[in-house]
Amino acid sequence: MEFSLRTADATTAKTACLVIVAAEGKLTGVANAVDKATNGTLTALVKSGDFSGKKGEQLLLPVTNGLGAQRVLLVGAGKDALNDQGFIKLVKAAAKKLVALKVKDALLCVEDLDVTGRDMAWRAQQAARLCGEAVYQFTKFKSKKPPKVALKKVTLQSSKGSATIKNALANGRAIASGVNLARELGDLPGNACDPSYMATRGRAFAKNNPKVTTKVLDEKQMKALGMNSLLSVSAGSDNPGKTVIVEYKGGKKTDKPVVLIGKGVTFDSGGISLKPGQSMDEMKYDMGGSATVYGTMQTVIEMGLPINLVAIVGCVENMPSGKATKPGDIVTSMSGLTIEVLNTDAEGRLVLCDCMTYAERYKPQAVIDVATLTGAIIIGLGHHPTAIYSNNDELSEQLVAAGNESADRGWPMPLWDEYGEELKSPFADLQNIGAGRAGGSITAAAFLAKFATKYNWAHLDIAGTFWNSGANKGATGRPVPMLVEYLSKVAK
Ligand code: BES
Ligand code: MN
Ligand code: ZN
């Protein structure tokens, strides 16, 4: 996908589709110019009641006498100012329509929208991201391939051109690229995307890129490091676990890196604590943390951010077998803490904790783990925000702010000692679940907190945000936009 900026009059633009917005009850800016150039077509449509400007309304005008465009997509902007999500909804729907229309290019005019507190640069970045996301297709396993999306070029209309807006378009494009990588990895089934496949994709970052190196730890190497907690999860699977480490050196040698850790459970059956069958297929998405860590790495590389970034993804399959870990088994983690595994379905934390100890060697400025960790967070927050936990208030606030700025929101959660106390085991240093189901996402985070003793750390529970179920089943790629925004601020 290609993005560019146009400052000349929109009415003369040669484009397959001119996308314009019109508020309810008034024609201003580009809509007004288009109305004038087309001999009052829009005024007539409003008068006849064929277009009212209601928020979300769309009307395609196939005839465009007086314009350079081959067709016009009229989008209703409503009466009131839009918030971020309102803007996104309109642009997303317009992009979807452009894909359905099979046009090769379009000119998008969103400057006249009243978006509270958001300048053209913000709109440009979001528009590029949303158009980039709209062309995502996952057709790998269809024997009859649906046609490739035609949309190749989107131009943004702006009365003023600037390097800032051009840069915002490039950033939006890079974010969409990372989001789409995360979606692709998420949508791949467990028999295609297993730990070895994740290792292959991790190695690809380092190809032809002197700033990137990839290291893959196999089970033998992990055993030597003492990563027995992670290994206890892959014990039941015939596919060996892998920890993949991707290092990007875009900053100065002396800059402390940010470490991103991803939960990479390529399929979570629950292990011996087997899950019920209902929707179990969706547990192919249990590597969403790793997918979004890879997606973020992809975007950071494309943007060339001047930071040092390390991605550590713990990739395993959680399966039941004669070799699988059993409830009651006790394992010694890399940190030395012993863990009583009371439920083999609480496996994500067992994977992450060893990756967290491994991360200590980087003396990082911050460590952020990303994980589809608990069903409980969906009960608590639903599917709208990513849950944010942290042992450092400033880091937590930075992530909340990054979520707001990128419109990929997160919400802070508590991490009080009381939650951690539920993890006391009669036989080991820790048990891997809390006293009951109550506060399940928080006790999971409290478990991880026990391993974050050497650095500032945050944990993102993305169980509610990484994928959609139902008719729109598919990965979202969240929270790549939030993480990229956070890292962009680190770079400054
Ligand atoms: N991968 C799941 C969490 C999950 C479940 C995410 C459903 C999205 C939808 C995780 O490994 C898990 O099974 N967690 C258990 C923990 C429990 C056994 C303490 C859960 O949430 O039920
Ligand atoms: Mn599980
Ligand atoms: Zn899981």
- Provide φ and ψ at 308, rounded to 5°: -100, 125
pTM: 0.98
Q: Considering only the top CATH level, what class is 2-161?
A: alpha beta
Per-residue confidence in pLDDT tens, the chain, 492 aa: 999 999 999 999 999 999 999 999 889 999 999 999 999 999 999 999 999 999 999 999 997 889 999 999 999 999 999 999 999 999 999 999 999 999 999 999 999 999 999 999 999 999 999 999 999 999 999 999 999 999 999 999 999 999 999 999 999 999 999 999 999 999 999 999 999 999 999 999 999 999 999 999 999 999 999 999 999 999 999 999 999 999 999 999 999 999 999 999 999 999 999 999 999 999 999 999 999 999 999 999 999 999 999 999 999 999 999 999 999 999 999 999 999 999 999 999 999 999 999 999 999 999 999 999 999 999 999 999 999 999 999 999 999 999 999 999 999 999 999 999 999 999 999 999 999 999 999 999 999 999 999 999 999 999 999 999 999 999 999 999 999 999 999 999
**Rounded Cα distance, 181 and 470, in Å:** 22
Residue 376 CA to ligand 1 centre (angstroms):
7
Instruction: Order the strands of the 338-341 sheet from edge to edge.
Output: 329-332, 338-341, 430-431
Residues of the chain within CATH 3.40.630.10 domain(s) are: 188-491
Alpha-carbon span 217 to 313, nearest angstrom: 10
| Annotation: CATH topology of 188-491 | Aminopeptidase (3.40.630)
Cβ–ligand 1 distance for 286 under 6 Å, the answer yes
Q: Which atom of ligand 1 is the closest one to the Cα of 441?
A: 21
Contacts of 265 (CB under 8 A, 6+ apart): 233, 283, 286, 287, 315, 316, 317, 318, 347, 348, 351, 372
Q: How far is the CA of 290 from the centre of ligand 3 (A)?
A: 12
Q: Is the bond preceding 479 in cis, omega lying within 30 degrees of 0?
A: yes
The DSSP secondary-structure symbol of 4 reads: E
Q: Whose CA is nearest to atom 5 of ligand 1?
A: 375
The values of phi and psi at residue 475, to 5°, are -75, 150
Number of Cα atoms under 13 Å in the Cβ half of residue 448: 35
User: Cβ distance 275 to 269 under 8 Å?
Assistant: yes
Residue whose Cα lies nearest atom 17 of ligand 1: it is 346
Distance CA 86, CA 92 (A): 10
Ligand 1 near 158 CB (within 6 A):
no
* For the CA of 379, the nearest ligand: 1
Report the atom number in ligand 1 closest to the C-alpha of 377.
21
Q: Is the CB of 374 under 6 A from ligand 1?
A: yes
Q: 341 near 232, Cβ under 8 Å?
A: yes
Q: Which atom of ligand 1 is nearest to the CA of 375?
A: 21
Going by the DSSP 8-state scheme, the letter that residue 68 receives in this structure is S
351 lines ligand 1 (CB under 6 A): no
CATH 3.40.220.10 in the chain, residue ranges: 2-161
Q: 456: Cβ below 6 Å to ligand 1?
A: no
Q: Name the residues annotated as catalytic.
A: 275, 349
Q: Helical H runs in 40-83?
A: 41-48
SS3 (DSSP) at 218:
coil
Query: What's the distance, CA 370 to chain centroid?
Result: 10
For the Cβ of 440 lying below 6 angstroms from any atom of ligand 1, the answer is: yes
For tokens 């700033």, the residue is 211
> Residues with Cβ < 8 Å from 129, sequence gap 6 or more?
172, 173, 175, 176, 179, 481
Dist CA 104 CA 98 (whole Å): 9
Residue closest to 286 by CA, chosen among 481, 478, 466, 472: 466
